[in-house]
Amino acid sequence: MTREKVLFEIWTRRAFGYGLALLVFALDRGLKALLLGPVALDRVDAIALLPVFALRYTQNFGVSLGLFTATTQTLRLILIAVTGAIALGVAAWLLVERRRADVIGLALVLGGALGNIYDRVVYGFVIDYADLHIGAWRPFLIFNLADAAITFGVLILLARSLLSGEKPGNTPTENS
């Protein structure tokens, strides 16, 4: 494989990763705009779509599982700074990552993080709406598309890490 072809594949993979992150961000913003605009989810109790799934508006002032709740303006700014730094780290990692599966995982994490950071900056909280439940039991807290993207991205990265046969010092292949 020529050097030009390798460089083209690397830059194509990077562009794909950043494009996927942007798509996740855009879908998150679009869905929230639809739910808060025409659907008016913030003005109804819930909209049942399936016996186990409803749309229910909530304001999340924390992060995953309601941890690190930002109850003051200072805590909110700290949370924005910390999540922003993590997003920058993921963006930098995406810039140097060569493995296709890892690029997808990182892009999902980055796009989801950007969606939630946007909410926190604009509204002061993250808008959540997806309520997966079995009767009154909720295996998850109410979440959003950005949260789901972050979760799937992390699962892809963990699976790649745990299931790869790579040993320290080995060079990964371009197609792994």
Q: Residue 6 above 80 pLDDT?
A: no
Asked if the structure places residue 175 within a domain, the reply is no
Residue 1 scores a pLDDT above 90: no
Mean pLDDT lowest for which of 54-63, 84-93, 148-157? 54-63
Does residue 169 register a pLDDT over 60? no
Kindly state whether residue 152 falls inside one of the protein's structural domains. Answer: yes
In a domain, 26, yes or no: yes
The pair of three-digit structure tokens given for residue 72, joined into one six-digit string: 């003051």
> Mind telling me the catalytic residues?
128, 147
Can you give the pLDDT at residue 5?
Answer: 80
Q: pTM of the prediction?
A: 0.86
| pLDDT of 165 over the 70 cut | no
In a domain, 171, yes or no: no
The parent domain of residue 152 ranges over: 3-163
How far are the Cα atoms of 65, 121, 143, 150 from residue 138, in angstroms, in the given order?
12, 28, 11, 19
Q: In this predicted structure, what is the pLDDT of residue 64? A: 66
* DSSP3 helix / strand / coil % (the chain, rounded to 5): 60, 10, 25
Question: For the chain, what is the domain count?
Answer: 1
**Model confidence pLDDT, tens digit, residues 92-151:** 999 999 899 999 999 999 999 999 999 999 999 999 999 999 988 888 789 999 999 999
The contacts found for 63-66 with CB under 8 angstroms, 24 or more apart, are 64/147, 65/141, 66/141
Say if 148 falls within a structural domain.
yes
Helix (H) or strand (E) holding 94: helix 73-96
pLDDT, tens only, 20-60: 999 999 999 999 999 999 999 999 999 999 999 999 999 99
Q: What is the pLDDT of residue 168?
A: 52
Q: Is residue 37 part of a domain?
A: yes
**Domain annotation covers residue 104:** yes
